[in-house]
């Protein structure tokens, strides 16, 4: 795992270092360019002076040409066609002859920049002290560079302010999250956030919404579970007290033990259903995890096998409707165990509410390219005005009793169906007269 780092410090470090390096490189380039320009200007000055003296220098001419600065002296020598020296500015030890054009010579411990021009009448030599010339060139170069030294710190200060100001909304969001209570899932403000950070805050807000829903569902679940468990536990306590008072009557004692065992079985069943509902609701957060192409006929066979002993005990005919005609293998995309629980709950409800000797059928078919799973029974069905509420937790239809169910079976069915994108349709069975539940899955992925 890499070491923690501050985005603000890293940005400031890299940007300010880049500005400093760029400024140094630009200043060095400008300095060298200014030196070259100064050399070219001084050489041009030597040429101009030499050309102005082509016609000769009158006797008594000043030793310094006009515009010459002290410490920046020009040394002049002029020879006639026969080599006779016609003019020399100040006493110097420059060589009596020099190559034509520009050259660098050393005389009397000094270095000179010399320009020599020859005409038909005379030869003109102009020399300049390289030490004074270089000092002047450097002074001009420094004048060209010093703005970089002034502007670079100002630019770095502006960049520091811009980066700090730009990252202020991120720091504000961090403080807002750090100062929140454990149960505060309200969305973070997106005001002023840069485009690069806003998607992260959007995802955080979506996460907060999911956690808020899960937290609310957990609170509701705990409240519902406490409410629903209170009644069976109270009944168990009363039955235990009645059992204690029936010591003298063996028949009453046996009946009390039977009722106590039935109450314990109902409590166990209720706890199992509560845990199953909690697990399925928690699984909704990973709705796409663990899904695969499933042969729905295999799921039906497993669920029917789970409920078959209960149906046989009540002499209820349970099985696939017209299995011989099922030539297609119908497949859906989902979680095998969850679909098995869905069908098992539907069959369990059907068997539980169907009178002894009745019938419960399961069928599979295609309808408008969608796989349809149907469970229908010959029981009393559900009243039309109660149909909108049958998927609510702990809701029991008018004909249900505490002995027949906990009111969670269809709620679990609804959670699993929603996770698989399936639609539930409840209506009266035209064939058997009881309840008909149809589960319509999304369009079929493949068939064989």
> What's residue 276's pLDDT?
67
User: What is the sign, positive or negative, of the torsion defined by CA atoms of 294, 296, 302, 306?
Assistant: positive
> What's residue 305's pLDDT?
87
pTM passes above 0.85: no
217 near 281, Cβ under 8 Å?
A: yes
Which contiguous run of DSSP H or E holds residue 359?
strand 359-367
Tens of pLDDT along 414-427?
Answer: 888 888 888 888 88
Tens of pLDDT along 45-69?
Answer: 888 888 888 765 544 444 444 444 4
Which band of pLDDT confidence, cut at 50, 70 and 90, is reported for residue 405? low
Q: Which domains does the chain have, with CATH numbers?
A: 7-163 (no CATH), 198-282 (1.10.287.130), 290-443 (3.30.565.10)
> What's residue 114's pLDDT?
85
Tens of pLDDT along 164-180?
Answer: 887 777 778 778 777 77
**Which residue pairs, CB below 8 angstroms and at least 24 apart, start in 397-405?**
399/353, 400/353, 402/231, 402/232, 402/266, 403/262, 403/266, 404/352, 404/353, 405/349, 405/352
> What's residue 289's pLDDT?
53
> What's residue 417's pLDDT?
85
Secondary structure (3-state) at 77: strand
Tell me which of 83 and 356 has the higher pLDDT: 356
> What's residue 427's pLDDT?
87
Tell me which of 28 and 322 has the higher pLDDT: 28
Average pLDDT of span 291-320: 85
Average pLDDT of span 357-372: 87
Which of 134-143, 145-154, 253-262 bottoms out in mean pLDDT, i.e. has the lowest?
253-262
In the block, residue with structure tokens 């029917």: 304
């Amino acid at each position: 795992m890499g070491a923690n780092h501050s985005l603000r410090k890293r940005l400031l470090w890299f940007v300010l270092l880049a500005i400093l390096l760029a400024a140094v490189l630009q200043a060095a380039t400008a300095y060298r360019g200014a030196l070259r320009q100064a050399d070219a200007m001084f050489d041009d000055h030597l040429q101009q002076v030499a050309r102005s003296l082509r016609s000769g220098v009158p006797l008594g001419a000043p030793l310094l040409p006009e515009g010459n600065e002290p410490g920046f002296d020009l040394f002049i020598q002029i020879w006639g066609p026969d080599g006779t020296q016609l003019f020399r500015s100040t006493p110097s030890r420059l060589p009596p002859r020099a190559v034509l054009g520009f050259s660098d010579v050393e005389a009397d411990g000094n270095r000179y920049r010399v320009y020599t021009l020859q005409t038909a009448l005379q030869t003109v030599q102009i020399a300049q002290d390289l030490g004074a010339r270089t000092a002047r060139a450097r002074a001009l170069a420094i004048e060209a560079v010093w703005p970089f030294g002034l502007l670079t710190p100002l630019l770095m200060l502006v960049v520091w302010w811009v980066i700090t100001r730009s990252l202020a909304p991120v720091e504000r969001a961090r403080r807002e999250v750090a100062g929140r209570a454990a149960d505060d899932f309200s969305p973070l403000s997106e005001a002023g956030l840069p485009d690069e950070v806003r998607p992260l805050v959007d995802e955080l807000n979506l996460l907060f919404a999911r956690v808020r829903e899960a937290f609310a569902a957990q609170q509701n679940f705990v409240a519902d579970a406490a409410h629903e468990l209170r009644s069976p536990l109270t009944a168990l306590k009363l039955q235990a007290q009645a059992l204690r008072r029936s010591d003298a009557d063996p028949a009453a004692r046996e009946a009390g033990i039977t009722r106590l065992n039935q109450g314990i079985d109902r409590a166990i069943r209720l706890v199992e259903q509560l845990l199953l509902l909690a697990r399925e609701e928690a699984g909704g957060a990973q709705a796409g995890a663990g899904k695969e192409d499933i042969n729905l006929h295999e799921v039906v066979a497993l669920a029917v096998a789970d409920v078959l002993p209960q149906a046989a005990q009540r002499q209820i005919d349970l099985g696939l409707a017209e299995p011989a005609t099922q030539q297609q293998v119908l497949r859906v995309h989902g979680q095998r165990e969850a679909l098995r629980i869905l069908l098992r709950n539907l069959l369990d409800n059907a068997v539980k509410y169907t009178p002894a000797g009745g019938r419960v059928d399961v069928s599979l078919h295609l309808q408008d390219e969608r796989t349809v799973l149907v469970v229908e029974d010959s029981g009393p069905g559900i009243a039309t005005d109660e149909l909108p509420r049958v998927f609510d937790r702990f809701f029991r239809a008018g004909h249900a009793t505490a002995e027949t169910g906990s009111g969670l079976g269809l709620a679990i069915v609804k959670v699993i169906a929603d996770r698989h994108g399936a639609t539930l349709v409840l209506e009266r069975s035209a064939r058997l007269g009881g309840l008909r539940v149809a589960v319509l899955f999304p369009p079929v992925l493949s068939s064989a």
